[in-house]
Every structure is written in C-alpha cells, then in structure tokens.
Amino acid sequence: MDQTEFEQVVRLVTEEVLRYLSAPGKPPASGADLDDEICPDCDLNCAEKCARKTRAVVDAGADRISCGPTVVELDAGFAGLIDHTLLKPEASRDEIRKLCQEAARFGFASVCINPWYVPLAAELLRGTKVKVCTVIGFPLGATLPQVKIYEAEESIKLGAQEIDMVINIGALKSGQDDVVQSDIRGVVEASHRGGAICKVILETALLTVEEKVRASMACKQAGADFVKTSTGFSTAGATAEDVALMRAVVGSEIGVKAAGGVRSFDDLKKMVCAGATRIGASASVKIMEQASGAAPVPATSAPAGTSY
C-alpha cells in the first residue's frame, strides 16, 4: 500500500468514526431519509436500523456487520472468549493458583500472567484446555526489539502458548512505522516458531485515531494473530469505538482483543458487538456470574499432583 492509498484509508475510517461520535442530535426522520439519519438512541451500531447504510458498507467490501448490545446473543461457550488476567506486580503464587483454578473451572481461553509465573501456570493447567498467555515488553513497550524476542522465546520454552506484546509506542508517535512493524514482526515470528500465537497491544488510550489506524495496519502487515487495545496500566482501557475502528482496519483475517476496563457482562457484550473476538479481564468470574445469574462460585482446591 503506497502513501496515497494509506492516507485515503485513514481519512475514510477517521471520518466515519468521528461522524458517529460527534453527530449532533436531530429530530426523528421518516421515510427514505431515515436510512441516512443518526437515530436519537444510536448505540453506534446501525445494522439493525439503517438499511441503506448497511448496504453501502457491504458493497464497499465488509464481510461482517456488528449488531447493537441490545440484540446480541452469546451462547454458553462465550467463556472461551476470555483471557482470565492477573498482571499486577504484587500478585502472589496463591493468587495465581486461584486464577488457574477459576480458568479451568469456567473454561476460559487462557490465563494471562507475567512471565515469572508461566512455569507455575503451565504446571497447574496441564491436562486442561486453558492456554497460558504471557506479556512481553510490558507494560511500556519501550524494550529493545531483541529483548522482546528473547523474552518471548524463553516464555514459550517455559510453557507459554500465547504471547501478548506491547508495541513501541514512542516509535509510532515519531512516525517510524517501519520500526514499529519490524518490532512486531520479530516477536510474531518468534512466537510462531515456538507454536504460539501473538497478540499485539496498541495502548489505544495514548493514540490518536490516525495512530490507531497506522498501528493496526502495522500489526496486520507484520503477521500478528490479534490486535489488542490496552495493557490495563495506562490512562484508560478498551472502548467499543476503538474495537470497531481496529476491526474496520484489520478486517476479518485476524482477531481483535478488548482489554482494560471490561468489568461486566454488559461491557463484554458491547466489545463483542463492536468486533472483539477475545476479551481480557480480571473480573472474569464476576462476568460469568452476571451472565448466568448464579450465586458466586466458591473457591476450589488446587488440582491433585501439582508441585507448586
């Protein structure tokens, strides 16, 4: 993609997102004009309301249309969307054990933990379907590229099956997109060599709309398996608008992970509606309880035979 094509993509995506976010309130429309109006109670997802707009989006090449949170239905397997997360620096071994027990009980996609705890999590989750996910260059993304590669390789040797890396945010803001893409590609290739997938954290709270577009494109071009919104350690976390923007840029070929501030079942539904295919949350058990309407689940004992 040359510079002219890139600028056109940025302009079109930016205009569409900003139009949704800043459209002033208007009186209700009727007849044919209804298709082109922003509804007074618009939830930023128009597939159920605006037939003309939906047709235009499909004609432009879209292969998926997001629904609003009021109409989304998630089946009983939605726990498999969640990376059960504990990344606080003071996390203890007992807390990691509890995290792994909960992940195995509910069938979460993975536990997402700091590299130090990868061997413990790998041992506790052996024989389950829950993956071990760890973070690389976390949470700042300013680590040297060769250090990120080494950290990913060593984590995979210790049992990590999924790698969440943070981009070089400063390089992106400096316009060094080639540096950003090379940094991502190094970790992606190291992950794939070790049989792991790689999710790339943009830290969207620190980026402009244009920078989010450029970062998402760099992830896709570098071969990432997912783009991810946030570390959860910055000024804000995931928003449905950012998820929708990232999905619009990367298309259907790779995943989108919403992380940071997803604390309820309603939050999860909004992110899925916007295009997320994975959710990072520390409130995963609470989300499951809200979804089922069940009483809180009591803690379980550690799996038999564990040595940690």
Residue-wise pLDDT tens digits, 212-225 = 999 999 999 999 99
The reported pLDDT for the residue numbered 43 is 47
pLDDT at 49 over 80: no
CA distance 237 to 231: 7
pLDDT mean across residues, the chain:
82
The reported pLDDT for the residue numbered 71 is 39
Buried b (16+ CB within 10 A) or exposed e, 41-57: eebbbbbebbeebbeeb
pLDDT at 307 over 60: no
The reported pLDDT for the residue numbered 12 is 61
The reported pLDDT for the residue numbered 77 is 72
First CA to last CA distance, the chain: 50
Average pLDDT over residues 280-295: 86
What percent of the chain has pLDDT above 70?
Answer: 70
pLDDT at 205 over 60: yes
Catalytic positions? 164, 228, 257
pLDDT band at 30 (very low <50, low <70, confident <90, very high): very low
pLDDT in tens, 162-202: 999 999 999 999 999 999 999 999 999 999 999 999 999 99
CA-to-CA dists, residue 36 to 23, 55, 72, 273, angstroms: 12, 12, 23, 21
Interacting residues of 202 by C-beta distance below 8 A, sequence separation 6+:
167, 212, 215, 216, 219, 227, 228, 229, 230, 246
pLDDT in tens, 68-95: 444 345 555 789 999 999 999 999 999 9
* CA 37 to the chain's CA centroid: 30
The reported pLDDT for the residue numbered 292 is 82
Determine if the peptide bond prior to 145 is cis (ω within 30°): no
Interacting residues of 165 by C-beta distance below 8 A, sequence separation 6+:
135, 136, 137, 138, 141, 148, 152, 184, 187, 198, 199, 200, 201
pLDDT in tens, 238-254: 999 999 999 999 999 99
pLDDT at 22 over 80: no
The reported pLDDT for the residue numbered 20 is 46
pLDDT at 302 over 70: no
The reported pLDDT for the residue numbered 38 is 46
pLDDT in tens, 266-278: 999 999 999 999 9
